[in-house]
Amino acid sequence: MAQNLIGSEIIRVAGEVNAMIAKGEPICNLTIGDFNPSIYPIPEELRKGITKAYEQGHTNYPPANGVAVLRKAVVAFTKERLGLDYPENDILVAGGSRPLIYATYMALVDPGDKVVYPTPSWNNNHYCHLSGAAPVEVKTRPENNFMPTADDVKPHLKGATMLALCSPLNPTGTMFSKKDLEEICNLVLEENRSRGEGEKPLYMLYDQIYWMLTFGNAEHYDPVSLRPEMRDYTVYIDGTSKCFAATGVRVGYAFGPTVVMDKMKSILGHVGAWAPKAEQVAMAEFLEQPAEVDGFMNEFKPKVQESLNVLYNGFQELKSEGFSVDAIEPMGAIYLSAKLDLAGKTTPDGKTLETSQDITFYVLHKAKLAVVPFSAFGTGKDLNWFRLSVGGASLDAIKEALGRLREALQKLK
């Protein structure tokens, strides 16, 4: 498994980006799904709370499933904000969402089991490799905002163990419509009704880590709210790292069926993937201050949305000028789906751009704009769509990069 594990393409691109930045080049870095703290600091009350928790001596091991005050706060927060009512014992806290996704795979998936997931999507190919799953990739289309439909997944659910979904979606910044998610839930329930006694159910892993970051008229939907019967089959992945710009604070949580959550607790108890105790204590205190939460979000969301809108409008302007680019209007998360349909074009030094990787590095070196191709999220290298993540760049840097991109596009033949 280790010999054949593929490294992150995002990290590879970021390595070249960082090397160029170290040389003093003015790179607009839109590669990492992270936040620059100088642009997007965490909530002030949360920062103070973390400091206070350390001063109070919260430096020992937390309980393996999360400190009780945080799990209670998550129960209240999830019920109040999403209408999802889960008991405290079904909440599992970890150091961000990654260990929780890994634990879901390890708890549910035996080697050779089918795991169905759309492409592009974040890291499911790697989690399949780590767990020994048989990956079933479902191609999505820009016409449906790269979100899977019931018709897309239906042929693949028979005999599958897990359907892994995410909304708002990393890498696209798009979301499920109510209708599409309802129809997919109906398929999952239908498949489970068809299975015999003792046969493993079909579970849904539902990653909603970005649910608080939605824009315009976009509305977040989740499986159990739409179809209460999905409660027996849905493991939610959630947390605070994205909605509070607190990626380094590392407080994620999951909730779902008791029988699954108990096994996930055992797995992570052995791995030791808990969030630091002080951060857990501080996050519990912050979640119980709705006025502080809302005050932060009322400033944070418009700032993220403005950067996404500037990018989107910039691509639409380039498109109107006749360049082979496009973008999907941002709906959620911190990502813009952008098309740079430059394959077959020739660079000033005579090189023909053939793959999305070629385009990535042309744009990086000529426009000083760092983006990630969808091939890093499981698509083919001939799909010339890219993820642009706005959390690490200032609005001014984005505007300047759009100007450089126009110049780089003009130089292609």
Give me the amino acid identity at 37.
P
Per-residue confidence (pLDDT) for residue 8, from 0 to 100: 75
139: its two tokens:
């191609």
Q: HSE (CB half, 13 Å, CA atoms) of 148?
A: 25
Q: Are residues 92 and 192 in the same domain?
A: yes
86: its two tokens:
């889960």
305: its two tokens:
């949305």
What's the structural domain count of the chain?
A: 2
Last residue of a domain, one of 289, 309, 326: 289
Q: Give residues with Cβ within 8 angstroms of 35, minimum separation 6.
A: 245, 247, 334, 391, 392
- Distance, in Å, from the CA atom of 274 to the CA atom of 202, rounded to the nearest integer, reads 28
In a domain, 383, yes or no: yes
Q: Are residues 254 and 394 in the same domain?
A: no
Host H or E run for residue 255: strand 252-255
40: its two tokens:
């997007």
By the 8 A CB rule, do 375 and 387 touch?
no
Residues facing 385 on adjacent strands:
339
Q: Which of 158, 166, 165 is nearest to 187 (CA)?
A: 158
- pLDDT tens digit at each of 413 positions of the chain: 999 988 777 777 888 898 999 999 999 999 989 999 999 999 999 999 999 999 999 999 999 999 999 999 999 999 999 999 999 999 999 999 999 999 999 999 999 999 999 999 999 999 999 999 999 999 999 999 999 999 999 999 999 999 999 999 999 999 999 999 999 999 999 999 999 999 999 999 999 999 999 999 999 999 999 999 999 999 999 999 999 999 999 999 999 999 999 999 999 999 999 999 999 999 999 999 999 999 999 999 999 999 999 999 999 999 999 999 999 999 999 999 999 999 999 999 999 999 999 999 999 999 999 999 999 999 999 999 999 999 999 999 999 999 999 999 999 99
Q: Are residues 246 and 330 in the same domain?
A: no
Q: Are residues 270 and 385 in the same domain?
A: no
In a domain, 4, yes or no: no
Last residue of a domain, one of 259, 289, 319: 289
Q: Give residues with Cβ within 8 angstroms of 187, minimum separation 6.
A: 150, 153, 154, 157
* DSSP-derived secondary structure for 258-269: HHHHHHHHHHHH
Query: Given the structure tokens 């502080």, which residue do they identify?
Result: 292
Q: Are residues 18 and 56 in the same domain?
A: no
Find out whether the peptide bond into 168 is cis, omega within 30 degrees of 0: yes
Q: What is the CATH number of the domain that holds 316?
A: 3.90.1150.10
Q: Are residues 325 and 189 in the same domain?
A: no
Q: Give residues with Cβ within 8 angstroms of 200, minimum separation 6.
A: 113, 161
Q: Other CB atoms closer than 10 Å to residue 71's CB: what's the count?
A: 23
Residues facing 373 on adjacent strands:
386
* CA distances in angstroms from 138 to 105, 230, 312, 378, 408, listed in the order given: 18, 21, 26, 10, 34
Q: Are residues 283 and 325 in the same domain?
A: no
Per-residue confidence (pLDDT) for residue 408, from 0 to 100: 98
- Distance, in Å, from the CA atom of 316 to the CA atom of 334, rounded to the nearest integer, reads 18
* CA distances in angstroms from 25 to 399, 400, 410, listed in the order given: 16, 13, 21
Q: What is the CATH number of the domain that holds 83?
A: 3.40.640.10
Last residue of a domain, one of 254, 289, 324: 289
- Residue 314 φ then ψ, to 5°: -65, -40
Sign of CA dihedral 278, 87, 45, 244: positive
In a domain, 1, yes or no: no
Identify the domain containing residue 387 by its residue range: 9-41+295-411
> Which string of b and e fits 181-209 if b means at least 16 CB within 10 Å?
bebbbebbbebbeeeeeeeebbbbbbbbb
Find out whether the peptide bond into 302 is cis, omega within 30 degrees of 0: no
Q: Provide the pairing of β-strand 325-327 with 335-340.
A: antiparallel
Residue 245 sits at the vertex; the CA angle it makes with 244 and 249, to the nearest 5 degrees, is: 90
